[in-house]
Structure formats: C-alpha cells, structure tokens
A and B are shown apart, each in its own frame.
Chain A
Amino acid sequence: MSAESRTLTSASQESLEASLYEARQKIHPRAVSGIFASWRWIFVWVTQLVFYGVCWLPWNGRQAVLFDLVERKFYIFGLVFWPQDVFWLAVLLIISAYSLFLFTAIAGRLWCGYACPQTVYTSMFIWIEKLVEGDRNARIKLDGAPMGGAKLARRAVKYGLWVALALWTGFTFVGYFTPIKTLASSLASLSLGPWEWFWFLFYGGFTYLMAGHLREQVCLYMCPYARFQGVMFDPDTLTVTYDGERGEPRGTRRKGDDYKAAGKGDCVDCDLCVAVCPTGIDIRKGLQYECIGCAACIDACDQVMAKMDYPKGLIRYSTENAIAEHWGWKEIVAHIVRPRVVLYSAILGLIVLAFAWGLATKASLRVDVIRDRGTLAREVEDGLIENVFRLQVMNVSETPHRYAVTVNGLDKIDLVGERIFEVPAAAARGFVVSVRVPPEAGKTGSNTIYFDVKSMADQQVAVHEKAIFIIP
C-alpha cells in the first residue's frame, strides 16, 4: 500500500496493478514530545480521570452518576432523568454534533487527534507497549526477532498489562449501570449477572482489540466520522500542513551547511514525521484522508528544525489559502470568522443556552392527563355531566410529595372525591378523578379545562395541564 495511492488529490496518482486486498503493515509510531503531544496527554488525563473516577463519587446516599436501566432512571448528580427525558439526550447529541462541526470547520480533525476514545486509548496502550518493549525501533526489532524466552516474556507482560487495563475499563463501564461498589464485590466473588458479565467482557474485549491491535484500522476503515469530517473542511480550515515551498527540494545535509546554495529546501528528509505518524502516512504528500490531525509530525519536525537552527513550523497548522497566499497568523485568524463558522457558533450557542436554562429550571413534577377512552361522558344524579380522567403524576424529585389537585375552566366545575394524592420519591402514580359540571356550563362537544396539581409543601412545584371535557 503506498500512501500516495490514497492521497486526496488525484493529480499525483500513479496506477499500479495490485491484489484486491492488501496486507496490513504494522505501524509502530515513535514516541514524540512537544506542545501538541502535551495537549493530547492533557486530554487523555482529563477524559480518563472523569471516566474512571466519576463512577466512584457518592451523592445523597447513592452513586452520583448512575444509569439505572432496570428502574429506567438516570441519575446525574442532583438530576434524575426519566424515559420521558430522552429529549435531553437528543439535545446533548445535537450539541455534540454542532461542536464537532464547529471545531472541524475551524481546525480540522481536532476531535480525532486529541479527544476521541480511539486516540486516547491507543495512546495509553502504546504507552504501555513502549514501557515494556521500548520505542519504535526496539519494537520493530522485537517483531522481527524469533520467538524466544525474552520475547515471550515481554509479550506476556505487555498483553497482561493491556488485558488488565481493558478489564478495568470494562468494569468501569458497567459500573455506570450497576452501582460500582456492589459490582466490585460481586466481581470479587465472580457472581455478576449474565448481562453484567457480557458487557464487562464485551466492552473490555473491544477496548483491548481496538486500542491494542486494530488502532489506525479503526480510523481508516471503520469510523464514519473520520470520513464525513472531510466535507466540513474548506480552504480556510486549519489542517496539519507541510510547507512544500519552503521544504522542497528536500535533502540530507550537515548542520551549518549552506543548503540554500546547494539548491535544497528546509526539509532535511529525516523521515521523523513518518516515524511518529500513528496512521503511517507521509504528511509531505499533502492532506490525506488517513490524517487524524494529531500533530505528532509537527512536534517531531519542530524538534529537528530547532536542532538545525532553522525556524520552526515547516510542518504546522495552516490553511490551504494561507499556504497559497503566503498568509501569516493575522490573516489566518481573520479568516476564521466566515459564514459557516458564524452559523455553527450561533446555533451551538443558542442550543447550549437553551439546554442550560432547561436543566436549571427542570420541573420536579410532571402530570399527564389521560381521558378515559371507554366513557366519553356520562350523566349522573341531578343531571350533572361527569367525565373521568386518569392523572399520571410523576414525582421526579428525590423526596415524597403530597399534591393537591384542582380543576377549572368551566362554570361550577368540580372534582368528585379525593383531591389530595401522595407520591413517593422518584415514583409515578396514577389517580382516577371524576369531574362534574352542569350541562349548561359549556357547549356541546369539547370544552377546554385545566388541571392544577400543586405540591402541598412547595407551591412552586406546580403543573398546569390542559384537558378536554366532553358534554354530550
């Protein structure tokens, strides 16, 4: 597989006859340090401290973040989400999507390069690999070495550590659905439930497979986001770019040589940018779909440039327009504000505001008024017209409440029977109420009435719900 056969631009394509299938070439990215590598490690630490840590936090005598599938309630700190709240999940996904659009339009595959779990876990697994087997060259050498005691030992330790990390990841994942402390004790006695076993091993197993073995294959051949992010690029999108005009013609030289006199560009052709690339491409061939925007090549090249006493940034974040027009940072930044970025930002901002406002004022009481279907209306003593409603009262708070029900909207409208209902904490109860009016109180057919359900303890906790009263 030659990287050039897959470049985004077709100009430099050369056609060569090959098998319909290509064997995978193992990639051993060389460890790299630098500003962008540091940013990636910051994201690894932040995301994984949250993931591995939050499930252990207590809150009001329960786990702070728990997705209770059996009870169909999602607890996130002080908030309790019911199946009816799936709306919030949709809004969250919309926010995620618009964030992806915005970041990608501005600076390409930032998500892929720094925060995507595939990148994060691969970084962690490669860190272990480097710890046990050494860096790129040592690993390539070990791959080629015949199987022997030393190789076997290193491989065993590496796989062992990977499996341990993967299992811990699977355990943590299940710990968001089963209280993790209970889960820990049942795991210790090997008495998980069948679905707990399945998800523990499935999630752990796939973490191991994806981060340990499949790595860049996930980005190249499985991930849909990787592909559709390309359509959000435009000529003003920041991407990891090799400045060919400055670098070419590339060539080796000694430090201090007057390479310009020799007709050479700044690229010393050390191939470090290729060695550090997690997807095994050569960025000097231009923007390629395999590039996940991790900027490892920028870090590597900058180190070489510094050693050579050349200016940094032979490979840098730049835009197609900036390279063509020789723009500096000022022009690049000026071109960040363009219609699609403004539109994405505006929509994202509005949705985030609405989301935050909605969560802050999320009702702790919800009432559904369900008309009885079998009996539209009936005549009772004294010629009064009676309609029957079922009030489905959902107490979304974590304390029990007594609620008073009143009804209004028609002349002399009144409830028959019980008017005060008690609902335990985080529970739903259905109550049947009969409502009566004199036949002359409304028109024949549908009349709009309103139920008011108020908490006895807190008048703020109230629901005003519309219903239809039918007079035959």
Chain B
Amino acid sequence: MDFNNTSDFVSGFWSMYVIVLTLVSVAGCGVFLLIQDKAKTNAGSTTGHVWDENLEEYSNPLPNWWRWMFYITVVFALVYLALYPGLGGMGGSFGWSMRGQWDAEMKKADEQYAPIFNKFLKQDIRAVAANQEAREIGQRLFLTYCTQCHGSDAKGGKGFPNLADSDWLWGGTPDKIRESVAKGRDAMMPAKGTKPDLTAEEIKDLSSYVRSLSGLSADAGRAAKGKELFPAACAACHGPEGKGNMGLAPNLTDKVWIYGSSEAEINNGITHGRVNRMPAWGEFLGEAKVHLLTAYVYGLGGGAKEDPAPEAPAAPAAAEAAAPVAVEKK
C-alpha cells in the first residue's frame, strides 16, 4: 500500500466537494478584494458598534499595504494548494506527506546513528557485554523498550522474569537471549496440567508439594498426597523431580517464583493455567539494536558462562511444536 498517497475519503465525491468548496472560497476572497478596491468608507464616522460604554469602532481606511498583503494571501493559498496536500484527495505536486516526512527523518536519523550501533554488530556478545560504551547504549535501549515489563533494574516483577539472575526459562546463552529478544516467546501452562480431573483439594495438595520442593513451609500431609499426584499432573513438563525443562517448563525446586510463591497464587496457577508472552522485537528494532540489548542482558550478571554442548539444529516445525506447551515458572 502506498502510504504517501492515501486519502481519508472512501468516496470520490467528498474529495470533489472539498476541492470545489476550497477553490470557491479562495476565489471568493479574491473577488471580494477586487470589489473593495472601488469601495468607499466614511472616514471619521463610526460603525455604530460600542463596547464598554464608550469604546467605538471607526470606519477609518486601512493602510494600503494591507490590501497587498490580502492579495498575497490569496496567491499564497493557491500556490500552497498546488504544491502541498489540501485540495481534497490531491497530494500536491511536491508529493509531500506526513508519512513521507517521517520516513525521511527516520532515514536521516538511521544514517546518523546506525554506524554507532553497527560497529558492535561484528563483535562477539561477550566482548560487547564488556564494552563500556555498548553497555551504556544497551542500558538506554533497555530503559526505552524493556523497562515497562522487566523493570529499570531488569529484575522483573510478577509475571515478568528477572533478567539479572542466573535462572533462565529459555536459556541464558547469547544465542538463546538473542532469540528471545528478536523472536519473542510464547508460554502456556494448561489448566490442571495434564490431569484435567484434578479436584480443588488435589490442587491444594499439589501446591503444598511444590512449595515443599522449594523449601517453603507446607502441610506435610497434603505435600505427601501431592507427591502422589505430581507424576500424572505435572511431570510431563516439569520433570519427575520438578526441576523443569529449559524452554518448556520452569524449575519448581528453586526459590524463583515468577507469579509468587504463596499457596493462593500456586493454587490459582494450577487451577487456571498460565499464559504469557514476550513480544518479538527483531523486526522493530533491527539486528544491531537486538545485538546490543542481548549483550546488555547477557552482561547483567546471569549470562551463561559456557555454551551448552552443540546440538543438532532443531527443525523449525519441531521448534514450533515445542513452543506452545511451555512455561509456568517461578
């Protein structure tokens, strides 16, 4: 779609209506001025209008140079309407548009700033993370684009993971972080896990059990019952010991609870499931900024020090199939 030449009108009638109305008005002003050239006024007499008891309006003549300014406005209007948008759907011969101007300014800004971002693109993430200038740029980018959810200090909040610790849902290697930033992440824990017939009492038992996994206080009786239920309801994703699966389900045995560790919150999570999404930034920010943000997040302290053993690249279909079945975490 050509954004530079779109009209607000869905029907050609309104465009013509505006064109005619505008031109008739402008021409009318010109004709009126021409008529006034011959008009007379009674200099010294008043129009009869009175304000504030004695403030009267006189019919005194105008300075002559005002007349020429009036004519200039008429000419200006016609020239302007020929050059710029204004006459209905006509775009004007300059082809100017707000969208076009925005594009031009963005292009200019890109030309100015792109080299600053791009010079880090060829460097390894670890090197960029260690570079002071890159960290400052990364922080500014983070404060602009990421802070709304992850917080200014990147430590997250309820529903939004902490990026500054070493606990990762989707992987803390440079490549995994880049993938999270660029492509986003979708996470879903189904309600009642893989056992849809869980009763409310059984859910409380499971909550007590997973709290006990984290070393939190829990009713021992309920926890024992929950332990019985866990393999059928939860282990498919969270693993038989509840230690989670990277990129699929969070570890339930650590102290990190993204939605809170209270019994009520965990009950809530099991009962209704969880759906969460990290938006994809790759297209909006571009490769260079994603690179800098990846390095900034990596350098916050929790970046995985070692790459995992190289694995065969997953087929895209497999990756997609894996995605929707993931995460309730923390």
| A interface residues (Cβ-Cβ under 8 A, vs B) | 1-2, 4-6, 10, 13-24, 217, 220-221, 372-379, 381, 386, 388-390, 430, 432-434
A374 to B143, CA, bound (A): 11
Does B152 lie within 8 Å of A432, measured CB to CB?
yes
Docked Cα-Cα span, A5 to B61, in Å, equals: 10
Tell me the total A-B contact number using a CB cutoff of 8 A.
108
Give the segment of B14-22, B62-70, B201-209, B316-324 that binds chain A: B62-70
Q: Which residue of A lies closest to B59 (CB)?
A: A15
Contacts A376-B157, A388-B151, A434-B153 known; 11 new A-B pairs at CB < 8 A: A2-B44, A18-B42, A19-B39, A19-B40, A217-B63, A372-B151, A372-B153, A375-B160, A377-B157, A378-B157, A388-B153
Contact B158 A378 (CB under 8 A): yes
Q: Are B66 and A221 closer than 8 Å at their CB atoms? A: yes
Question: What would 5 A/B residue contacts be, using CB atoms closer than 8 Å?
Answer: A10-B46, A15-B43, A16-B44, A378-B157, A388-B153
Q: Which residues on the A side are within 8 Å of B44 (C-beta)?
A: 2, 4-5, 13-16
In the complex, whether B325 has a CB less than 8 A from a CB of chain A is: no
**Are B147's CB and A374's CB within 8 A?**
yes
CB-CB under 8 A for A372 and B40, given A6-B60, A20-B61, A24-B64:
no
Partner of B45, one of A1, A15, A375, A389: A15
Residues of chain B within 8 A (CB-CB) of A381 are 255
B143 pairs with A17, CB closer than 8 A:
no
Q: Report whether B63 and A372 are in contact in the complex, using a CB–CB cutoff of 8 Å.
A: no
User: How many angstroms from the CA of A430 to the CA of B144 in the assembled complex?
Assistant: 12
| A residues less than 8 Å from B66 (CB atoms) | 21, 221
A389–B41 CA distance with the chains assembled, in angstroms: 70
Interface residues of B in 142-196 (CB under 8 A from A): 143, 147-153, 155-158, 160
B40-A374 in contact (CB<8A): no
Most central of B40, B43, B157 by chain A CB within 10 Å: B43
Question: What residue of chain B has the Cβ atom nearest to residue A374's Cβ?
Answer: B148
* A21 & B255 in contact (Cβ 8 Å cutoff): no
In the complex, the answer to whether A16 meets B42 with C-beta atoms within 8 Å is yes
Most chain B beta-carbon contacts within 10 A, residue among A21, A23, A372, A386: A21
Closest beta carbon of chain A to B50's beta carbon, Å = 10
Partner of A378, one of B37, B39, B148, B156: B156
Measured between alpha carbons, how far is A389 from B152 in the docked complex, in Å?
8
Measured CA separation A359–B132 after assembly (Å)? 38
In the bound complex, what is the Cα–Cα distance between A1 and B41 (angstroms)?
12
Question: Which chain B residue has the least Cβ–Cβ distance from A16?
Answer: B43
Tell me if B152 and A390 are in contact (CB < 8 A): yes
Question: Which residues on the B side are within 8 Å of A21 (C-beta)?
Answer: 37, 61-64, 66-67
Q: How far is the CB of B268 from chain A (nearest CB, A)?
A: 15
Say how far A334's CB is from chain B's closest CB, in angstroms: 28
Chain B residue with the shortest CB-CB distance to A386: B155
Decide yes or no whether B36 CB sits under 8 A from chain A: yes
Contact flag A5-B64 (CB < 8 Å), given A17-B43, A18-B43, A374-B160:
no
- List of B residues within 8 angstroms of A6 by Cβ: 58, 60
In contact, A378 and B67 (Cβ under 8 angstroms): no
- Shortest Cβ distance from A428 into chain B, in angstroms? 13
